Structures are given as structure tokens and as C-alpha cells.
Structure 1
Amino acid sequence: MMRLSTLFKHPLMWPVATLVCLFAIDVAHRANFLSITLLSRHLFGAPIDILMNAAPLVVVSLGMTLVIATRGIDISVGAVVAIAGAAAASVLEGDPTRVGTAFAAALGVGLLAGMWNGMLVAFVGMQPIIATLILMVAGRGVAQLLTGGQIIPIGAPGYLFAGGGYYALVPCDVWIAIAVTILTVLIVNQTALGLFIRSIGVNPVAARLAGLSSQAVVFGTYAFCGLMASVAGILISSNVRSADGNNAGLLLELDAILAVTLGGTSLAGGRFSLAGTVLGALIIQTLTYTTYSIGVPPEATLVVKAVVVLLVTLIQSPTARAFAARQLRRAALVRRARESA
């Protein structure tokens, strides 16, 4: 019993249970949901589709995790995704062979965007939601200026390979998401940076009094978040073979925040889980796939998604679980009293 209670208290227990439940619903609706086939030296199947579509969200959510862990927030990542795709498309429009330059341009603008947010938050002292709201609004305008308000098609094979190609049977964007996840885990867990981020999230004043350069750490997390958003911008624009300054990455910041919170990261800062974030992103993408596959009307999809996220969040909340347990015990006592009478 003690081991079972310990399992239920594990921070990854509920995200894993939620993902398993969604898979069970899909299997019940379609028996071959988990089947994966090999066709033309590529793997195909619903799990592969979910992984492929979740890759950009995983990448963005990893950057968002570190920002939230420092008591911050970045609601501009969707706009940065659009800017990165637009910058790459603008380079390739002039010369389709400049694939390396396109990648550098996309990553560069994402890094600059993150550094801009980090400067406003860490050094100017603006509230994170206000600082990133500025870029969220202006970023769409910048992306549309780069694209001239048009959807720019991308035809460079080298660029399209990042989001639409396959390597070792698996889509390249899945490999990129895996590589980014491993790199982030190594940076956070194998260096002192993870401890610094947790310290700032728990008590920024104490961290500063202890000699920790909190401004530099916060600035770095926002820069990293912007860089991750630009990687997602490359994957998305490559996958759809175009750059759309108006719709690329639209509402992606909300999905990223949901993925982070579903994974167990505290919005109050300090406590975060990269593994939980990856699970949260997979939950959101699987939920999207499930709602469409079981025939939920498109106009009701967002409502169903919101209800499921609310239920999962309540299940993860210790306060909500304790309240439910008290109500169950009270109901049991009332039933026994009635039976004894």
C-alpha cells in the first residue's frame, strides 16, 4: 500500500495516466490505432503522426519550461515562430540554394527576440507578461512585413527536409525534438544552471543575496526560449512548405503553457520537470488527434479540449484530490450511519 501511495504521489504519474487513457480511448474507437507500417522506407501510423505533429510543441515547451521556472512567462513564442519562418522564407525566396543562411537567419531572429524579452524582464524590470505581450503583438507585424502580407512558398529541398523529411525511417522533426530534449536535459541537469533556475524560482531575493547573478540567468532563459521558438518555426514552415506571417504558430504559446503545467511545472516557479513537459505536449497533441478521430464537431473541439485539460489539472492538484477524498469519506460515513440506523 505504501508503494502504491508513493506511485500516486510521483509527479509524472498523472501525465502518464492521462496519456494512457487517451490512447485507450483511441484504441477502443479504432483497433489498429497503435499499428505502425513500413511503406517506402518510412514508418506510418497514428503514433508517428502524433509524434511528428507534437515535435514543434515539444521544442517550444522546453524553452517555456525554463522561463516559467524562473517565475516568468513568454506569450510571444507563437509570433517568434512566425518571424523565424518568414525570415527563412525571405532568404530562400531570393536564392533557394542558401539553405544554411536560411537556417541561420531563422535561428538568429529567434535568439534576438528572446534576448529582447530577456532584456526587458531581467534588466529593465518589466513584468514578464507585459514584456512578452509587446513582442507578441509587434512580432506578427514584423513577420507580415517580411512576407509582404503574403504566404511565401518554400521549395528548397534541403530546408524542407528538416520538417518533412525522414531519417532512419522516422520523421526528421521527431529526431530534432529528441535532440533538443536531450540537449536541454544535459544543460539543466549536468551543469549548475538547473540549480540556479530553481533557486531563482523559489526565492529570487535569497538567490541574489547568495551572490547568484539572477539577471543573467533570467536573461539566458528568455534567450533560450526564443531560440527554441525559432527551431519550431523552422519545423512548422518546413512541414507546410510555406511561411505565413499571420497564422504560423497561432495560439502556440497557449498550448506550450498548457503542456508545461500539465507536466507538473509550477507557475509559481522553482519546481519544473522537462520529462513532464514532453508528456504534456504529447497529451495535447494526442487529445487533438482523439477529438478529431472520434468525430467531435470542429466547432466543439476547443471546448472538449478545455474540459479535458481542466479535469487533468484538477486531478493533478493535491488540494483538489484532498477535497475529493474528504467528500468520499464523508459520503461513506453518511451511508454507514444510514445503514446502521
Structure 2
Amino acid sequence: MMKHRLFWPLMVLVVLLLFNLIYSPDFFSIKMRDGHLYGSLIDILNFGSPLILVAIGMTLVIATGGIDLSVGSVVAITGAMACLSISRANDQNGLVAVLGAVGIALVLSAALGLWNGFLVARIGIQPIIATLILMVAGRGIAQLITNGQIITVLSPKYQYIGAGSLLTLPFSIFIVAAMFVIASLLTRKTALGLFIEAVGCKPTASRLAGVRSRTVMLAVYMFCGLCAGIAGLLLSSNVSSADGNNAGLWYELDAILAVVIGGTSLTGGRFYLAGTLVGALIIQTLTTTIYMVGVPPEITLVVKALVVLAVCLVQSEKFRGLLRGRPKAGPLQTANPEVKRHA
């Protein structure tokens, strides 16, 4: 059981939740108010929804051996574009205006992801450099869209996306669940998952075997951009405004950490969407814990980094072996003396 890839991430999540329960005895309490459920656990799921979405897309990109540093900028761009479209509509709360703004934002996010995929798959630029271009330029594009200001919209229909409720639960949870199910079905019930892992393990060999590796890479980068776009809609609709400077800031780093904590290797190949989900919940729970305990803002990132480092060390079999005092066997070390003598 301890060898299961989700064992240690789940244990870390349980420890964080138990710590919060000890610090605040009503941490697990969930109350019904005006037909909606409220509580710390609900808040973790609600506020962690954008990060989970970005991490799902990042998982598939990393599985191909790439990386996407531009997701935070895509979050800012899509939120800014949606709010700008609604603010210019005659009726900000009109269904046509809201759906049009959401459609424009999602198409734009998919196009930005396709641009990253084009630079990586077609032009041959290293993924970290190709996405770094949009990471830097994208933040400036978002500020150009908002004209350096915070765009505020008055649209209850748009606000419902990030702050509404369905069946007593935040609507954002259902959006995340739908995207997770779609990604799981596409990668585990079709050949797409196998193609992604093949491209991540041996891109040249997969291409010689008939896998259209460039098409697969274009698809995963576009999907990652789409996930970031939906996250941008959740963030901007939750506060009914768009901030091109701060929206989605450092989301790319949190998403990468969530993927790594979930057990997906940065070198590509096998990926675990369920592990990514647990990793994102760990990061959001950790953020909630830091704010609840009252850690000074100037050392918040340091505390977060130390906890993430501890999680990664706990997951490492080599590190656990060192703690148990069992050095890793070399190529000639074996328990059979005869084999050792002949070697």
C-alpha cells in the first residue's frame, strides 16, 4: 500500500487537514446557509478550482516532455478579454453578451495554446523558451487589454461562473469535475493517452512508429491553453473584475509543483491526473493553512517552498532509503555471493 504512487501525497494532504482541525476545531464543519454549503473544505475546493484546471492541462504538456510557463499570462489575458467584452456591451447582464465574451475568451486561450504548440512542434524551439516568450509578452498583452486599469463589470450572469452555486455547491467545482472527466476519458479510454506517453518517452521512435507526434504536441498545448482560459474566467468572474497585472501570477509554478507532487515526471512519459488533483489540493490546503495560522506575508513563500520540498523528499524512495540507513546498491552489489564472485 505504501508503494502506491498516491499514498504519500494523500498522507500529506491528510496531515495538513488534521493540523488545521487541531488548530481550528471547526475546520471540518459545513453549514447550510441560504441554500448553499459553506465551510473551509468547500472553500478549498472552490478557491483551488483555477489551480486544478491549470494543473490538468500542465500534466498533459509535461507528459510529452514539455512545459508551459505561459499559463499564468493566459489566465490574465482571457479574464481581461472577457471583462472587456462585457463592459463594452449595451446590456452587461445579457445572456448573449456573457456567452459571447466567454466564447471569445476561450477561443483566444485555445489560440494562445496553439501558438505555443506551433513554436515547439513546428519551429522546434525548446518548450521552456517558447512558452517563456508568451509568459513575458502575455502579461503585457493583458495590461494592454485593460489599459493598465482594473476592469470592473456588473453582470450577475457572468459572476455566476466563478461565484454561483449549483446543487448547494460552488459552480466552479462542477466545471473542474467536467474538465477532469473529459481529460481522463480522452487519455485513458482512447489511444490519445498512449500517444502522449509515447511522445514523452521517445519522440523520434514514436514518430517512426506512425504516431503524429507534432499533432499530439499541438493538441496538448492547445488543451493546456484552454484549461488556463477557463481558470481565467473563474478568477475574473469570482470578483467581477480583471487585473492584467496580478491575475494568475505564479500559477505556472504552482501548477508544475502540483504535477510533480502528483507523481508525474518532468522528463515526460507516464502521467497521473488523479495525482495532479491531489497535488493541487495539497497546495491549496497549504495556502489556506498559511493564511489561517497567520504566517507573516514576507515569509509565506519560504514556508510554502519548505513544505513542498518536504513533500517531494517524502515521495523519494532514495531519500527514504537513506533515512532507513540502506544505501542504494551499486551495479556489482548483490545478495548472492556466487554472483558477486563471478562478477
- The two structures have a TM-score, normalised by structure 1, of 0.93
Cα displacement string for residues 40-90 of structure 1 (whole angstroms, at most 9, x for unaligned residues):
101000000100000000000000000000000000000000000011011
Cα displacement string for residues 210-236 of structure 1 (whole angstroms, at most 9, x for unaligned residues):
111100001110000000000000000
| 2:243 aligned partner, one-letter code | D
Q: Structure 2 CA distance, aligned partners of 1:128 and 1:294? A: 38
Q: Structure 1 CA distance, aligned partners of 2:305 and 2:79? A: 28
Q: Structure 1 CA distance, aligned partners of 2:274 and 2:59? A: 10
| Pairing 1:167–2:158 present | no
Cα displacement string for residues 83-106 of structure 1 (whole angstroms, at most 9, x for unaligned residues):
000110111011112001110011
2:324 aligned counterpart, secondary structure:
helix
1:270 aligned counterpart, secondary structure:
coil
Q: Structure 1 CA distance, aligned partners of 2:55 and 2:65? A: 15
**Among residues 48, 53, 59, which one is paired with 2:47 in the alignment?**
53
% identity of equivalent residues: 54
- Report deviation, 1:302: 1.0
2:2 aligned counterpart, secondary structure:
helix
* Closer, same or farther: CA 327–301 of 1 in aligned 2, 3 Å: farther
- Report deviation, 1:284: 0.2
Q: Structure 1 CA distance, aligned partners of 2:294 and 2:73? A: 31
What residue is the counterpart of 2:180 in the other structure?
181
The structure richer in helix per residue is 1
Which consecutive residues of structure 2, in runs of 5 or more, have no partner in the other structure? 328-343
What residue is the counterpart of 1:3 in the other structure?
none
2:65 aligned counterpart, secondary structure:
coil
What residue is the counterpart of 2:77 in the other structure?
83
Q: Considering only aligned residues, what root-mean-square deviation do their CA atoms show, in Å? A: 1.2
1:117 aligned counterpart, secondary structure:
helix
Q: Spell out structure 1 runs of 4+ moving beyond 6 A.
A: none
Cα displacement string for residues 120-158 of structure 1 (whole angstroms, at most 9, x for unaligned residues):
000100000000000001101111111111100021111
- The two structures have a TM-score, normalised by structure 2, of 0.93
What residue is the counterpart of 1:197 in the other structure?
196
What residue is the counterpart of 2:134 in the other structure?
135
Aligned residues: 323
What residue is the counterpart of 2:330 in the other structure?
none
Q: Structure 2 CA distance, aligned partners of 1:319 and 1:173? A: 39
What residue is the counterpart of 1:4 in the other structure?
none
Q: Structure 1 CA distance, aligned partners of 2:299 and 2:21? A: 22
- Report deviation, 1:308: 0.5
| 1:19 aligned partner, one-letter code | L
| 1:9 aligned partner, one-letter code | K
1:22 aligned counterpart, secondary structure:
helix
Which consecutive residues of structure 1, in runs of 5 or more, have no partner in the other structure? 1-6, 329-341
1:28 aligned counterpart, secondary structure:
helix
| Pairing 1:17–2:21 present | no
| Pairing 1:26–2:20 present | yes
- Report deviation, 1:295: 2.3
Q: Structure 1 CA distance, aligned partners of 2:195 and 2:75? A: 28
Q: Structure 2 CA distance, aligned partners of 1:231 and 1:166? A: 17
What residue is the counterpart of 1:94 in the other structure?
88
- Report deviation, 1:327: 5.7
Q: Structure 2 CA distance, aligned partners of 1:248 and 1:194? A: 31
Q: Structure 2 CA distance, aligned partners of 1:147 and 1:86? A: 6
